[in-house]
Structure 1
Amino acid sequence: MKRTKIIITLGPAIENIHMMTSIIRAGADIARINTAHGNITYHQHLVERFKEASKKTKKFIGIMLDIKGPEIRTGEVENNEIELKEGKTLLLTSENIIGTSKRLSLNRSLSPFLDKGDIVLLDNGKIKLKVIKVKKDEIVTQIIQGGKIKGKRGVNVLGKDFPFPYLTRKDLNYLQFAVKNEIDFIAASFVRRANDIFEIKKALTEFKGNIPIIAKIETKSAIKHIEEILWISDGIMVARGDLGVEMPVEELPEVQKYLLKMAIAQAKPTIIATQILETMINQPIPTRAEVSDIANAILDGADALMLSGETAIGKYPIEAVKVLVKVAKKTETFFFKTSLFFELKGGISHNVSNAATLLAKEMEADAILCLTRSGKTARLISRHKPKTKILVATYNEKILRQISILWGAQGFLTKKLLTTDETITSAIQNALKKRLLKKGNTIIITSGEPSGPSGITNIIRVQVVGDILGKGVAFGKRRVRGKVCFGMNERGEILVRKEMPEIFTLLSFKGVIIENEIFNPEIIKKAVKKGVTIIIGVKNILKHLKPGDVIQIDPKRGIVFR
Structure 2
Amino acid sequence: MSLINRRATAIYYDVEIFYCICKLNCRYTTVSKLLYAAPQKSKADLSWDVIHKFPIDWNRTIVLHRTMTMRRTKIICTTGPATESEESLRQLIGRGMDVCRLNMSHGTHEWHARQIRVVRALSQEQNRAVAIMLDIQGPKIRTSRVQGGSIVLRAGDDVTIQSSDIIGDACHIGVRYPLFAKEVSDGQTIMIDDGRIRMVVVSTDGGCVEAKVVVGGVLTDKRGVSVPEAHFSVPSVTEKDKKDISFGIEHNVDYIAVSFVRRASDISGVKQMIHEQEVDIPVIAKIETKKGLDNFPEILKVADGIMVARGDLGVEIPIEEVPITQKRLIAESNASGKPVITATQMLESMIHDAIPTRAEATDVANAILDGTDAIMLSGETTIGDYPIESLSMMDRIARTTESVGWRMHTDADADVTGLSIERSIGHAVCQLACNLNAAAIITTTYSGSTATVVSMYRPKTPIIAITPDEATFSRLALIWGVTPLRIPAVGTTDEAMDASVRSAMDAGFAKAGDRVVLTTGVPIFVSGTTNLITVRVVE
TM-score range, shorter chain: 0.7 to 0.9
After TM superposition, the structure 1 = structure 2 runs for residues 286-435 of structure 1, keeping only pairs within 5 Å, are: 286-336=356-406, 338-341=407-410, 346-435=419-508
The one-letter code matched in structure 1 to 2:201 is: V
Mapped to 2, the partners of 1:278 and 1:446 lie a distance apart of 41
Mapped to 2, the partners of 1:88 and 1:436 lie a distance apart of 62
Change (3 A) 1:452 1:38: closer
1:38-65 superposed Cα distances (whole Å, 9 cap, x missing partner): 1212212222222222222221211111
Mapped to 2, the partners of 1:210 and 1:138 lie a distance apart of 44
Q: SS where residue 81 of structure 2 aligns?
A: coil
Mapped to 1, the partners of 2:86 and 2:531 lie a distance apart of 43
Equivalent of 1:199 in 249, 269, 273: 269
Mapped to 2, the partners of 1:203 and 1:79 lie a distance apart of 39
Aligned match of 2:80: 11
Mapped to 1, the partners of 2:247 and 2:509 lie a distance apart of 35
Change (3 A) 1:456 1:154: farther
Aligned match of 1:250: 320
Stretch moving more, 155-164 or 251-260: 155-164
Q: SS where residue 131 of structure 1 aligns?
A: strand
What's the offset of the Cα at 1:452? 7.9
The one-letter code matched in structure 2 to 1:140 is: E
Aligned match of 1:129: 199
Mapped to 1, the partners of 2:231 and 2:402 lie a distance apart of 39
Quick check: 1:417–1:450 contact (8 Å CA) kept in 2? Answer: no
Q: SS where residue 501 of structure 2 aligns?
A: helix
Aligned match of 1:47: 116
Equivalent of 1:211 in 271, 281, 284: 281
What's the offset of the Cα at 1:419? 2.0
The one-letter code matched in structure 1 to 2:312 is: D
Q: SS where residue 425 of structure 1 aligns?
A: helix
Quick check: 1:179–1:208 contact (8 Å CA) kept in 2? Answer: no
Aligned match of 2:518: 445
Mapped to 1, the partners of 2:117 and 2:524 lie a distance apart of 35
Gaps of 5+ in 2: 1-69
Rg: which structure is higher?
1
1:86 paired to 2:159: no
Q: SS where residue 13 of structure 1 aligns?
A: helix
Mapped to 1, the partners of 2:419 and 2:305 lie a distance apart of 18
What's the offset of the Cα at 1:131? 0.7
What's the offset of the Cα at 1:451? 5.4
The one-letter code matched in structure 2 to 1:6 is: I
Q: SS where residue 260 of structure 2 aligns?
A: coil
Equivalent of 1:67 in 136, 149, 154: 136
Equivalent of 1:185 in 255, 258, 267: 255
Gaps of 5+ in 1: 467-562
Mapped to 1, the partners of 2:230 and 2:521 lie a distance apart of 48
Aligned match of 1:38: 107
Stretch moving more, 341-350 or 34-43: 341-350
The one-letter code matched in structure 1 to 2:175 is: L
Change (3 A) 1:65 1:410: same
Mapped to 2, the partners of 1:453 and 1:366 lie a distance apart of 26
Q: SS where residue 289 of structure 1 aligns?
A: helix
Quick check: 1:17–1:52 contact (8 Å CA) kept in 2? Answer: no
Aligned match of 1:138: 208
1:459-512 superposed Cα distances (whole Å, 9 cap, x missing partner): 11111111xxxxxxxxxxxxxxxxxxxxxxxxxxxxxxxxxxxxxxxxxxxxxx
Q: TM-score, normalised by structure 1?
A: 0.81
What's the offset of the Cα at 1:145? 1.0
Aligned match of 1:236: 306
The one-letter code matched in structure 1 to 2:400 is: K
Q: SS where residue 241 of structure 2 aligns?
A: helix
Quick check: 2:445–2:525 contact (8 Å CA) kept in 1? Answer: no
Mapped to 1, the partners of 2:128 and 2:403 lie a distance apart of 25
The one-letter code matched in structure 1 to 2:323 is: P
1:295-354 superposed Cα distances (whole Å, 9 cap, x missing partner): 110000001000000001111111111111111111002223x54437666310011001
After TM superposition, the structure 1 = structure 2 runs for residues 469-480 of structure 1, keeping only pairs within 5 Å, are: none
Q: SS where residue 331 of structure 1 aligns?
A: helix
Quick check: 1:374–1:399 contact (8 Å CA) kept in 2? Answer: yes
What's the offset of the Cα at 1:114? 1.2
1:52-90 superposed Cα distances (whole Å, 9 cap, x missing partner): 222222212111111011111111111111111211111
What's the offset of the Cα at 1:159? 2.5
Mapped to 1, the partners of 2:528 and 2:291 lie a distance apart of 32
Q: SS where residue 530 of structure 2 aligns?
A: coil
Aligned match of 2:93: 24
Q: SS where residue 117 of structure 1 aligns?
A: coil
Mapped to 1, the partners of 2:465 and 2:379 lie a distance apart of 32
Equivalent of 1:284 in 346, 351, 354: 354
Larger relative contact order (Cα-Cα within 8 Å, sequence gap ≥ 6): 2
Change (3 A) 1:4 1:256: same
The one-letter code matched in structure 2 to 1:204 is: I
Give the alignment's Cα RMSD to 1 decimal: 1.4
Q: TM-score, normalised by structure 2?
A: 0.84
Mapped to 2, the partners of 1:414 and 1:223 lie a distance apart of 41
Mapped to 2, the partners of 1:55 and 1:239 lie a distance apart of 30
Quick check: 1:348–1:456 contact (8 Å CA) kept in 2? Answer: no
The one-letter code matched in structure 1 to 2:533 is: I
What's the offset of the Cα at 1:360? 0.9
The one-letter code matched in structure 1 to 2:120 is: K
Mapped to 1, the partners of 2:126 and 2:454 lie a distance apart of 27
Give the length in aligned residue pairs.
465
Mapped to 1, the partners of 2:524 and 2:128 lie a distance apart of 29
The one-letter code matched in structure 2 to 1:393 is: I
Mapped to 2, the partners of 1:183 and 1:398 lie a distance apart of 9
1:175 paired to 2:175: no
Mapped to 2, the partners of 1:245 and 1:370 lie a distance apart of 42
Change (3 A) 1:262 1:458: same
Quick check: 1:418–1:450 contact (8 Å CA) kept in 2? Answer: no
1:164 paired to 2:234: yes
Identity %: 39
What's the offset of the Cα at 1:453? 4.9
Quick check: 2:408–2:457 contact (8 Å CA) kept in 1? Answer: no
Change (3 A) 1:456 1:152: farther
Quick check: 2:496–2:524 contact (8 Å CA) kept in 1? Answer: no
1:383-411 superposed Cα distances (whole Å, 9 cap, x missing partner): 11111111100000110110111111001
Quick check: 1:13–1:315 contact (8 Å CA) kept in 2? Answer: yes
Quick check: 1:126–1:147 contact (8 Å CA) kept in 2? Answer: yes
Q: SS where residue 143 of structure 1 aligns?
A: strand
